[in-house]
Amino acid sequence: MIVMKFGGSSVESAAAIERVAGIVKSRAHCRPVVVVSAMGKTTNRLLAIAQTSMTGTREDYLAQIHDLRDFHSREARQVVPLGNRAALDRTLDEHFQELTELMKGLAVLGELTPRSIDAISSYGERLSSLIVAMAFEHFGLLTTHVDSRRMIVTDRRHTQAAPIYEETYRRLKETIPKLAAEAVVVMGGFIASTEDGVTSTLGRGGSDFTASIVGAGIDAEEIQIWTDVDGMLTADPTLFPGGHRVKTISFAEAAELAYFGAKVLHPATVVPAVEKNIPVLILNSRRPRSTGTRIVAEAVACKNVVKSIACKRNITLVNIHSTRMLMVHGFLHRIFEIFDRLQTPVDMVATSEVSVSLTIDSTANLAAVVAELETFSDVNIEPDQAIVCLVGDNIRYTPGVAIRVFRAVDTVNVRMISQGASLLNLSFVVADADLRQTVAALHGEFFSEIDPEVFD
C-alpha cells in the first residue's frame, strides 16, 4: 500500500482532478490510499463565509455559499459519470443545505467558536473527497470513499487538534487494508473527530499530516505528497528564482525546513512517518515524471554543506532589557511564563547578562505581553523581521560555516543569531527589507557548485 496525497491546487478543477485520476491509475498496482485537500481555495472561502455570517448581512453570506456551491457543481459535473449526476446533486444539496443551516445558526448566536470553525471548514474536504471518489469511478478506477472523521481521532483542541495515535492507528488498521485490497480508497485530509464524535481539524495545511498518519497507521511502503512544485528547493522561489531541486533530504532536515516556512510540507507531517521509517516523497502533479524530493531516515552523503535556505517572514523581534536580571535566578522563567500564559509561541531566543531577545510569529496578544513585561523591564518591539535558516546535516561537521555565512551577508544588519539548538541549522534574523539580498548572497555562497547526487 502507498498513500498518495493531493493538495488543493491538484484538485482545484475538473482538469486537475482528471490529471489526478491518471496519476493514481498509473500507480494502481501499489494499492493506493488517496488523501485529498479541499478543492482550490475552498477552506479560505469557508472561513470567509464564517466571517461574513458574523459581520455581514444574511444576503452576503448566502451569496458566498451559493458561489461556492456553483464552483463545486461546475467542476464536479465534468468529471462525474452521467449515471451518477443525480447522486452528485443530492450530495451537494445535502452538504450545502447543512452548511447554510449552520451559518444561519451562527449568525443568530453571533459567536464563532473554534469548534464551529472546525464544523465549517470541514466541508471542504468532505466535499472534495466525495467528488474525487465519484470522479475516479468515471475514469475507470474502482473506488471506495472513507470518511476520515471515522478514522482519525483527536483531542478537543479545535482548529489545531492533535491525533490520539493508538485509537487512530487501530481504526485505520482495522478498516483500510481490507478496502484497499479491493479498490482505491479516497479520504479527505485535514478533518477528524474527537472521541465524542465532534468534527475537528488538524490545523491549516493539515492534509499532509493526515497522509502521514494514514501511512503510519497502515504501514504504507511510501507516502507521496503530490503538490504543484517539483519538490523542495534550495531557496524559496518567490524570494530567489534561481534555486535547485533537492532530490533527497533527511527527515530531520525536512522538519527544520518545514518549521521554518518551506511551504511544501506541514511541519508535523513527518513525525508519524519518521516513527515508522516510511519514506515521504514530494511530487509535482503537473509534472508527474519528475522524481521530486525524497525524504528518508538518514541524510545521504552530500558534498554541499547546506541543503536549503528557508525563511520565515512577518516575524516580530522582542527585546527585553533589565538590569535587575544581573545574577538573579528565575528571570527567564518569569519572562517565558508571560508568553506561555498569553499563548504566544516563541521561536528564537538569545540572552545576555541583562537582556533577552526573542522572536514571535503571532502578535495577537503582543500588547498584553508587553504590558506585563514592562512591569519589570524595558521592552522594545521591532516588527517586519525575517528569520533566515540554513539547513544541512553537514553543518554540524563542517568548521567555518558561520564565517562563510556572515561574510556573504556582510552588508546586511544581522539582528540575532542562533546555532546549536539543532545541530543542523544555523539561523539569524534580518529586517524583511534585506531578505531578498540576503538569500541571493547566501545562495551564491553555498550553491555555486552543487553535488549532482543530491541536487538537480
Q: For 285-349, what is the HEC assignment? A: CCCCCCCCEEEECCCCCCCCCCCEEEEEEEEEEEEEECHHHCCCCCHHHHHHHHHHHCCCCEEEE
User: Binding to ligand ASP by residue 37, rule CB under 6 A?
Assistant: yes
Closer of 205 and 292 to Mg ion (Cβ): 205
Question: Which one of 189, 217, 267, 392 is in contact with ligand ASP (CB under 6 A)?
Answer: 189
Q: What is the DSSP letter of 303?
A: S
Identify which range of 1-9, 126-134, 273-281, 322-330 contacts Mg ion by CB under 5 A. 1-9
Minimum distance, C-beta of residue 7 to Mg ion, in the bound complex (Å): 4
Could you tell me the end-to-end alpha-carbon distance of the chain, in angstroms, rounded to an integer? 29
Closer of 38 and 282 to ligand ASP (Cβ): 38
The helix (run of H) or strand (run of E) holding residue 99 is helix 85-109
Closer of 52 and 122 to Mg ion (Cβ): 122
Q: Which of 186, 144, 184 is nearest to 36 (CA)?
A: 186
User: Binding to Mg ion by residue 206, rule CB under 5 A?
Assistant: no
Q: Between residue 190 and residue 209, which ones bind ligand ASP under the rule CB under 6 A?
A: 190, 204-207
Q: Which three cell numbers stand for residue 290?
A: 519528475
User: Binding to Mg ion by residue 7, rule CB under 5 A?
Assistant: yes
Report the DSSP pairing between strands 248-250 and 293-296.
parallel
- From its phi and psi, is residue 96 left (phi > 0), alpha (psi between -120 and 50) or beta? alpha
Cα 37 to chain center, whole Å? 11
User: Binding to ligand ASP by residue 188, rule CB under 6 A?
Assistant: no
CB 304 within 8 A of CB 392: yes
Interface map 120-159 toward ligand ASP (x if CB under 6 A): ----x-----------------------------------
| Binds 43: which of Mg ion, ligand ASP, none (CB < 5-8 Å by kind) | ligand ASP
Question: Which one of 2, 8, 129, 285 is in contact with ligand ASP (CB under 6 A)?
Answer: 8
Closer of 199 and 322 to ligand ASP (Cβ): 199
CB 220 within 8 A of CB 210: no
Question: Which one of 24, 35, 38, 270 is in contact with ligand ASP (CB under 6 A)?
Answer: 38
| Binds 204: which of ligand ASP, Mg ion, none (CB < 5-8 Å by kind) | ligand ASP
Closer of 228 and 445 to Mg ion (Cβ): 228
For residues 7 and 39, give the distance between their C-alpha atoms in angstroms, rounded to a whole number: 8
Closer of 37 and 308 to ligand ASP (Cβ): 37
Task: Give the residues across from 315 on adjacent strands.
Answer: 385
Q: Which three cell numbers stand for residue 72?
A: 463545486
Minimum distance, C-beta of residue 388 to ligand ASP, in the bound complex (Å): 25
Interface map 154-183 toward ligand ASP (x if CB under 6 A): ------------------------------
Closer of 8 and 217 to ligand ASP (Cβ): 8
For residues 91 and 228, give the distance between their C-alpha atoms in angstroms, rounded to a whole number: 28
Question: Which one of 205, 215, 217, 272 is in contact with Mg ion (CB under 5 A)?
Answer: 205
User: Binding to ligand ASP by residue 267, rule CB under 6 A?
Assistant: no
Q: What is the DSSP letter of 233?
A: B
Treating both helix axes as pointing N-terminal to C-terminal, what angle do 42-55 and 114-138 enclose, rounded to 10 degrees? 140
Q: What is the DSSP string of 353-417?
A: SSEEEEEES--TTHHHHHHHHTTTSEEEEEEEEEEEEEE-GGGGT-TTHHHHHHHHTTTS---EE
Q: Which residue has the cell 493508538?
A: 166
Identify which range of 10-18, 37-45, 332-340, 424-432 contacts ligand ASP by CB under 6 A. 37-45
Applying CB under 5 A, the residues found at the interface with Mg ion are: 7, 205
Applying CB under 6 A, the residues found at the interface with ligand ASP are: 7-8, 37-38, 43, 124, 189-190, 204-207
